[in-house]
């Protein structure tokens, strides 16, 4: 299969390149392709002639999106539209990677693919707009919502905790947001398995189980054998610019219904990541 990956130097992009290594794969970084430029996107998809585009490029700095909303719309909404339209012109299918932040987090139970979205942050709104534009432009889409992404490459919570834990020895971490940590090394091959089914649609793909950020931090320090004094705090005290959903666990209902295996419990994948980072 000929595959084109956008956002190839990002956290997920790195693991996507590995997951599609047995295919004829090309990864484009932001320096290779600005997804917000329609002519550049059309030319890239035409020239590489992929059968599948995995669109992992995004403006992912959730708090920065609040003040820089133009860029959030430009990259996450418009850029995704250009990729979908270019795929339609070239006869390619597309994976659009989306987020749990399309939900408001007020349901108090895991969200299925059939639940109504209601994003609260600019990041969530721009990603949800991207979903809508992809659905309108290209029937052959897989919209893959995931959450709390962690991997060897790029910045993420696990790596930040390991660094801060070592630097400070004592930390406060938010204990009133619940989600599912998902590991790029699990998500990337799961995306490949889904994208060869031909069953286009919207899917939730996360590791199994759930926890709060505080519980995740505790597990990181336990795995790494770091003695860190950890105190729970709440979202209000943390006062981040962007609102976060309180409970954004994604029920992977549809992948189960079509017979795909669930991803492992997050603790299993965390153990592997901490060891890959040289801390386990």
Q: Which is nearer to ligand NAP, 107 or 229 (CB)?
A: 107
Look up tokens 């610019």; give the residue.
241
3-state secondary structure of 56: coil
State the catalytic residue, choosing from 59, 96, 123, 203: 123
The minimum distance between CB 104 and ligand NAP, in angstroms, equals: 16
The minimum distance between CB 153 and ligand NAP, in angstroms, equals: 7
d(CA 94, CA 35): 14
Q: Which is nearer to ligand NAP, 32 or 229 (CB)?
A: 32
Q: Which is nearer to ligand NAP, 10 or 165 (CB)?
A: 10
Q: Which is nearer to ligand NAP, 149 or 219 (CB)?
A: 149
For this structure, is 59 an active site residue? Answer: no
Query: Do residues 147 and 204 touch, judged by C-beta distance below 8 A?
Result: no
The minimum distance between CB 229 and ligand NAP, in angstroms, equals: 26
How many angstroms separate the Cα of 139 from the Cα of each of 134, 146, 152, 192? 8, 21, 33, 18
The minimum distance between CB 170 and ligand NAP, in angstroms, equals: 25
Cα–chain-centroid distance for residue 84? 18
Look up tokens 């850029």; give the residue.
79
Q: Which spans of this chain sit near ligand NAP (rule: CB under 6 A)?
A: 6-7, 9-13, 30, 33-36, 56-60, 75, 79, 97, 99, 127, 146-149, 154
How many angstroms separate the Cα of 213 from the Cα of each of 59, 154, 177, 190, 217? 22, 18, 7, 24, 6
Which residue's CB atom is positioned nearest to ligand NAP? 10
Q: Which residues are catalytic?
A: 123
């Amino acid at each position: 299969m000929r595959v084109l990956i956008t956002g190839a130097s990002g956290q997920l992009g790195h693991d996507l390149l590995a997951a599609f290594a047995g295919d004829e794969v090309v990864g484009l970084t932001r320096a290779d392709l600005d997804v917000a430029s329609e002519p550049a996107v059309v030319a890239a998809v035409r020239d590489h002639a992929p059968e599948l585009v995995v669109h992992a490029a995004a403006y992912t700095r959730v708090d920065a999106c609040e003040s820089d909303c133009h860029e959030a719309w430009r990259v996450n909404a418009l850029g995704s539209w250009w990729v979908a339209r270019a795929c339609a012109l070239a006869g390619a299918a597309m994976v659009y990677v989306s987020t749990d932040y399309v939900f408001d987090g007020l349901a108090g139970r895991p969200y299925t693919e059939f639940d109504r979205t209601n994003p609260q942050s600019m990041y969530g709104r721009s990603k949800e707009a991207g979903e809508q534009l992809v659905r309108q432009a290209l029937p052959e889409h897989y919209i893959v919502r995931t959450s709390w992404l962690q991997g060897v490459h790029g910045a993420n919570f696990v790596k930040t905790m390991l660094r801060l834990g070592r630097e400070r020895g004592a930390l406060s971490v938010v204990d009133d947001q619940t989600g599912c940590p998902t590991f790029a090394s699990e998500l990337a091959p799961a995306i490949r398995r889904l994208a060869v089914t031909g069953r286009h649609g919207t899917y939730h793909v996360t590791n199994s189980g759930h926890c709060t950020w505080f519980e995740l931090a505790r597990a990181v320090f336990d795995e790494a054998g770091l003695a860190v004094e950890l105190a729970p705090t709440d979202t209000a005290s943390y006062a981040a610019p962007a609102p976060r959903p309180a409970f954004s666990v994604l029920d992977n209902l549809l992948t189960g219904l079509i017979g795909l295996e669930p991803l492992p419990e997050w603790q299993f994948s965390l153990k592997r990541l901490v060891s890959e980072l040289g801390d386990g």
